[in-house]
Amino acid sequence: MTIASMTGFSRETGVSGPFRWAWEIRSVNGRGLDMRLKTPVGYEAFGEEARLALAKAVTRGTCHVGLVVSKVEADPTIRINEEALAAVLAAISRVDLPDGIRPASLDGLLAIRGVVEASVEDDAPDVQEALAVDLKAGLGRAVAGLVAARAREGVALAAVLSEQLDRISAATAAAEANPARQPEAVRARLAEQVALLLEATQALDASRLHQEAALLAAKADIREELDRLAAHVVAARGLLAEGGACGRKLDFLAQEFGREANTLCAKANDVSLTTIGLDLKATIDQFREQSQNVE
């Protein structure tokens, strides 16, 4: 299973009898699942259909769903109103025509308003039933298209996140191997600091000075931060490999990455370590930004 992005778009269109319709769904980042529906008057029930379908298909993201239904140009149905025609004929039969007046012809009778009716049967039950079937099928395809789009975006997103984890891992290894954190280098810096203090004043207690030096050495040790950074990289890689809706967990790990990087920079006792820490923080910020796109 791969991860999915919360960003996606799909559109499905079709024609059903005298109607043209279109479903459009787009999704963007969101803390939870938020659906915003827009349907024509009289089609609200299809909005609820869309809500249920999306709730089954995705778990996070702000989804904007729109349905447009319009009538297309269609040949009208021609019908002769036989009752109206019979009434006209009956009325004519009761009239004594003057000399020189010919009886009404068929074309003249059909031209009488209400005798011939032209209409588009868009309200017929079978037409509405066919439209409902087509709208539901189109909705299903639109939701599937959105899921596919988010999955494609997720593949690209996973590659970016994996590359950023490689950079975090490399920065952690560089800090691990940095000469400035070797015991000899730490002792030399502490000895220099102690010598400066002794030169400044002879009133310092030797045992107290020893304790302070031990505390400084402990504060300068970044062993725990490096171990946690390495563990977080392993955890993040596991989430990417497992796939599914892991965006919240990746976002949490990004926060933990940032916490360790900040501590590493605070403990850095050498410019080279500080530089590594700053590069590490920049990469972690990028990782956090991308992880917030994951479902």
Contact partners, residue 148, CB within 8 Å, separation at least 6: 10
For residue 288, which phi and psi values (nearest 5 degrees)?
A: -65, -45
- The two beta strands, 19-28 and 8-16, are antiparallel
Does 11 lie in the same domain as 30?
Answer: yes
Does 147 lie in the same domain as 6?
Answer: yes
Does 263 lie in the same domain as 152?
Answer: yes
- Identify the pLDDT of residue 108: 73
Residue 25, token pair as written in the block: 């769904």
Does 105 lie in the same domain as 1?
Answer: no
- The two beta strands, 33-38 and 61-71, are parallel
Q: Is residue 210 domain-resident?
A: no
Q: Is residue 275 domain-resident?
A: yes
Does 84 lie in the same domain as 50?
Answer: no
Domain count, the chain: 2
Domain hosting residue 100, numbered range: 77-119
| Span 197-252, pLDDT tens digits | 666 666 556 565 556 555 555 666 788 899 999 999 999 999 999 999 999 999 99
Q: Is residue 284 domain-resident?
A: yes
- Identify the pLDDT of residue 215: 57
Does 47 lie in the same domain as 131?
Answer: yes
- Identify the pLDDT of residue 182: 62
Q: Is residue 196 domain-resident?
A: no
Q: CA 209, CA 215: separation in Å to the nearest integer? A: 10
Residue 279, token pair as written in the block: 């590069």
Q: Is residue 187 domain-resident?
A: no
- Identify the pLDDT of residue 96: 75
Residues of the chain with pLDDT under 50: none
Does 156 lie in the same domain as 65?
Answer: yes
For residue 61, which phi and psi values (nearest 5 degrees)?
A: 120, 155
Q: Is the dihedral of CA 23, 27, 33, 35 positive or negative?
A: negative
Q: Is residue 232 domain-resident?
A: yes
Q: Is residue 214 domain-resident?
A: no
Does 264 lie in the same domain as 153?
Answer: yes
- Identify the pLDDT of residue 72: 77
Does 265 lie in the same domain as 131?
Answer: yes
- Identify the pLDDT of residue 201: 61
Long-range contacts of 76-79 (CB under 8 A, 24+ apart): 76/118, 76/119, 76/120, 77/118, 77/119, 77/120, 77/121, 78/116, 78/117, 78/118, 79/116, 79/117, 79/118, 79/119
Does 127 lie in the same domain as 172?
Answer: yes
- Identify the pLDDT of residue 1: 77
Does 264 lie in the same domain as 228?
Answer: yes
Q: Is residue 205 domain-resident?
A: no
Does 58 lie in the same domain as 149?
Answer: yes
Residue 228's identity, in one-letter code, is R
pTM above 0.85, yes or no: no
